[in-house]
């Protein structure tokens, strides 16, 4: 009974520090993001209410990114406060091992990690998607020109007559070649002016080159008139799109819910595009419970030193530096996993597993000699 009561006490203590840290981080993120957006809005005319809404929509995704670091700081604060109040000495004198003492915070960290991808990730993804849309509207930024659905991939581009929407069932990995292409051309009043079907489209500098073309031209003033049909071996359609802009227009992984990501990856690969970046993000979210547990262990290993021995400040600084070092190495691994240089599964899971092993070794060394 003493151990269950102690476990609940430690878990509540850790939860209180975690809640305070999250609240503090939220306020800081809102403040910094609001100031940055206000600076950008100086030339766009966006109102303060709109800027505040954008900051609120952006905050969940930023908090999700730094949540492991918040967990590390919470664990450090929890165990350091217990060390200063001599609670650690009392519990160790009662025969409670360091592992038994950290077990409730490990469980709490794993629960936080599971909640981060199961609950917070869908909320943050939806908010970030809305943020990107409103930001493009308020600040007159370029919106995404590409979207992917089970009906194929869709591209939007401007033309001299209005705008054109391109649908293709398949593409190569760069988006420079499309197959089974349909082009819908609209005038400035958003009326359908022409439809073009092509077996293949190749992106050239400044234009799409269509092959095996069949086109229908509509009269906007006579909707009941039959369209004029033409056929051609080749056709050239001017465009401002480039390979880089097409690839950059994919929905960022952060704007897609964890639960919707597998279907989106399947759709991307069916369309012919590489989905390593999105698969990497999905696995990194799935590994959050292991990462949070590693951050808890790391914080405990550097802060479970009795206050009379001194050096708590240096140990806290060492923990922060170790956490920053982990994030740097993790970002490198994710970069390699996103481009397919290493398997996304390995890039996502290896850093947190390695960190939990290193933190366990530190705890053994510092607490058990």
Give 45's contacts (C-beta < 8 A, 6+ positions apart): none
**Tokens 């929890």 belong to residue:** 78
Q: Is residue 260 part of a domain?
A: no
Range of 190's domain?
Answer: 146-248
Residue 118 tokens, joined = 């199961």
Claim to verify: residue 106 and residue 88 sit in the same structural domain = yes
The average pLDDT across 33-55 equals 86
Claim to verify: residue 241 and residue 282 sit in the same structural domain = no
Local structure of 148: helix, strand or coil:
strand
- Asked if pLDDT for residue 339 goes beyond 90, the answer is no
pLDDT of amino acid 1: 43
pLDDT of amino acid 141: 61
Q: Is residue 222 part of a domain?
A: yes
Q: For residue 302, give the nearest of 320, 284, 287 by alpha carbon.
A: 320
CB atoms within 10 A of CB 343: 16
Looking at the 3D structure of the chain, how many domains does it have?
Answer: 2
- Asked if pLDDT for residue 368 goes beyond 80, the answer is no
CB atoms within 10 A of CB 181: 25
What does the mean pLDDT of the chain come to? Answer: 85
Claim to verify: residue 152 and residue 213 sit in the same structural domain = yes
Claim to verify: residue 150 and residue 135 sit in the same structural domain = no
Q: For residue 278, give the nearest of 299, 260, 295 by alpha carbon.
A: 260
Claim to verify: residue 116 and residue 13 sit in the same structural domain = yes
Q: Is residue 109 part of a domain?
A: yes
Please indicate whether residue 243 or residue 352 has the higher confidence score (pLDDT). Answer: 352
Q: Is residue 15 part of a domain?
A: yes
Residue 346 tokens, joined = 């390995």
Claim to verify: residue 51 and residue 132 sit in the same structural domain = yes
Q: Is residue 263 part of a domain?
A: no
Claim to verify: residue 6 and residue 119 sit in the same structural domain = yes
Local structure of 317: helix, strand or coil:
helix
Claim to verify: residue 134 and residue 159 sit in the same structural domain = no
pLDDT of amino acid 40: 82
Last residue of a domain, one of 248, 281, 298: 248
The predicted-structure confidence for 190-246, as pLDDT tens digits, reads as follows 888 889 999 999 998 888 999 999 999 887 677 677 788 889 899 998 888 877 777
- Asked if pLDDT for residue 305 goes beyond 50, the answer is yes
Residue 154: give its domain's CATH number.
2.60.450
Q: Is residue 175 part of a domain?
A: yes
pLDDT of amino acid 280: 93
End-to-end alpha carbon distance in the chain: 29
pLDDT of amino acid 61: 93
pLDDT of amino acid 2: 45
């Amino acid at each position: 009974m003493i151990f269950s009561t102690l476990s609940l006490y430690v878990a509540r203590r850790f939860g209180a520090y975690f809640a305070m840290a999250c609240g503090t981080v939220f306020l800081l993120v809102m403040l910094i993001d609001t100031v940055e957006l206000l600076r950008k809005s100086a030339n766009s005319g966006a109102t303060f209410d709109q800027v505040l809404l954008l900051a609120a929509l952006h905050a969940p995704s930023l908090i999700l990114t730094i949540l492991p670091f918040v967990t590390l700081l919470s664990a450090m604060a929890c165990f350091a406060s217990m060390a200063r109040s001599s609670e650690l000495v009392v519990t160790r004198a009662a025969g409670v091992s360091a592992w038994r003492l950290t077990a409730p915070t490990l469980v709490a960290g794993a629960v936080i990690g599971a909640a981060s991808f199961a609950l917070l990730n869908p909320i943050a993804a939806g908010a970030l998607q809305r943020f990107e849309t409103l930001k493009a509207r308020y600040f007159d930024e370029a919106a995404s020109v590409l979207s992917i659905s089970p009906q194929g991939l869709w591209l939007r581009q401007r033309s001299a007559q209005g705008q054109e929407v391109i649908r293709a069932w398949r593409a190569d990995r760069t988006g420079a070649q499309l197959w089974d292409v349909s082009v819908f051309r609209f005038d400035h009043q958003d009326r359908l002016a022409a439809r073009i079907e092509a077996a293949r489209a190749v992106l050239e500098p400044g234009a799409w080159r269509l092959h095996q073309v069949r086109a229908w031209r509509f009269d906007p003033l006579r909707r009941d008139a039959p369209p004029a049909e033409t056929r051609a071996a080749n056709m050239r359609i001017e465009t401002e799109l480039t390979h880089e802009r097409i690839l950059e227009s994919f929905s960022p992984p952060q704007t897609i819910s964890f639960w919707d990501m597998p279907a989106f990856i399947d759709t991307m690969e069916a369309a012919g595009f590489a989905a390593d970046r999105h698969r990497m993000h999905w696995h990194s979210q799935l590994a959050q419970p292991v990462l949070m547990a590693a951050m808890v262990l790391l914080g405990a290993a550097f802060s479970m030193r009795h206050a009379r021995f001194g050096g708590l400040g240096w140990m806290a600084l060492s923990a922060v530096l170790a956490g920053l070092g982990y994030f740097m190495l993790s970002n490198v691994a994710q970069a390699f996993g996103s481009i397919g240089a290493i398997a996304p599964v390995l890039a996502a899971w290896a850093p947190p597993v390695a960190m939990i092993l290193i933190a366990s070794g530190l705890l053994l060394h510092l607490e058990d000699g």
